[in-house]
Amino acid sequence: MTFESSPVRTDWTRDEIAALFDLPFTELVFRAAEVHRANHPANQVQRSTLLSIKTGGCPEDCGYCSQSAHADTGLKATKLMDPRAVLQAAAQAKDHGSTRFCMGAAWRNPKDRDMPAIVEMVKGVRAMGMETCMTLGMLTDAQAKTLADAGLDYYNHNIDTSPERYGEVITTRSFEERLETLEHVREAGINVCCGGIVGMGETRGDRVGFIHALATLPVHPGSVPVNALVPVKGTVLGDMLADTPLAMIDDIEFVRTVAVARITMPRSMVRLSAGRESMSDATQALCFLAGANSIFTGDKLLTAGNAGDDKDAALFARLGITPMAAECKVELEAAE
């Protein structure tokens, strides 16, 4: 399948991105839909499944995360899952229509002793014909190369928010450390999956900065997950926003964020991630119109609830959306 692809720019300015956010809503969504159809199959959405392979006890202090050891959520830390159990879950996900299987571990960074089991998981999932994605925290150059040798397709490492807002959300690692891991991943030849969370009390300016940071990376991420914060009691942000619900993002502004991501990163897969279980069908439909073409399906995202396979199938049927087959995915090309 070929497309008249939009030019890929990595020189977007903040003023240009802010101007996109300021467009009349229908004009912005129309432009995003045009860009989407020039680069991706229309009315096709990729289904992915995310499994927590090691839950809780993370030493990072991310203010949104129920798995942080700093949070008081009652979540018990677990050990790394046995690869056989992970592969069984992957097989079930494939049976339910997922073409990508994502595995997340609540670590600051993986230990070298954990890498053989991680490699076994990657190789086993790939042998099923599914795309593989891992999110394990920060990586060394050597660890990234090990994952590349195992055949890992994507590595997820979100920047979370704008560089300016970052220190208000996380203090245990810097924005620059996030970028270093992304560089290790790119240099190893693994596709980057990188996005963030909106609705954390940030301003539109922060959302402009968040998109700008992604759209000016040396190569756009192959996947850009856009999460809406799911406030969890016992986390810093969950407790703070429980008393100030207006700090959370509204549906129109969320769709705007998706649309701007699509326009600025035309060949990336833009994924609706956390928060979808609380969105109306109409909001999700607008997101698909604005260029989102990937979702996480299943009943759970790591530790948070998710819409579920049956609900997603019903939504796809109502909207006339076709699940994307693995071979239909448009690969990201490096910007020239």
Asked if residue 65 belongs to a known ligand binding site, the reply is yes
List 31, 47, 100, 102, catalytic entry: 102
Q: Is the pLDDT of residue 248 over 80?
A: no
- Residue 282 located in a structural domain: yes
User: In this prediction, what percent of the chain has a pLDDT beyond 70?
Assistant: 89
pLDDT digits (tens, 9 = 90+) for 136-184: 999 999 999 999 999 999 999 999 999 999 999 999 999 999 999 999 9
Asked if residue 194 belongs to a known ligand binding site, the reply is no
List 193, 207, 262, 287, catalytic entry: 193
C-alpha angle 131-133-138 in degrees, rounded to nearest 5: 160
Q: Is the pLDDT of residue 9 over 70?
A: yes
Domain range for 218 is: 12-317
- Residue 144 located in a structural domain: yes
- Residue 219 located in a structural domain: yes
- Residue 184 located in a structural domain: yes
- Residue 329 located in a structural domain: no
- CA atoms of 205 and 227, how far apart (whole Å): 17
- Residue 236 located in a structural domain: yes
Asked if residue 193 belongs to a known ligand binding site, the reply is yes
Residue with tokens 């660890």: 143
List 31, 65, 194, 207, catalytic entry: 65
Output the pLDDT for position 334. Answer: 38
- CA atoms of 136 and 157, how far apart (whole Å): 8
What is the domain-level CATH number for residue 58?
3.20.20.70
- pTM higher than 0.85 for the full model? yes
In contact, 241 and 209? CB cutoff 8 Å: no
- Residue 332 located in a structural domain: no
Give the count of domains, the chain. 1
Asked if residue 328 belongs to a known ligand binding site, the reply is no
Q: Is the pLDDT of residue 243 over 70?
A: no
Asked if residue 287 belongs to a known ligand binding site, the reply is no
Q: Is the pLDDT of residue 76 over 90?
A: no
- CA atoms of 206 and 86, how far apart (whole Å): 37
Q: Indicate if 328 belongs to the active site.
A: no
List 31, 100, 133, 194, catalytic entry: 133
* Average confidence (pLDDT) over 71-84: 85
- Residue 331 located in a structural domain: no
Burial of 90 (0-12, 13-18, 19+ CB in 10 A): buried
Q: Is the pLDDT of residue 258 over 80?
A: yes
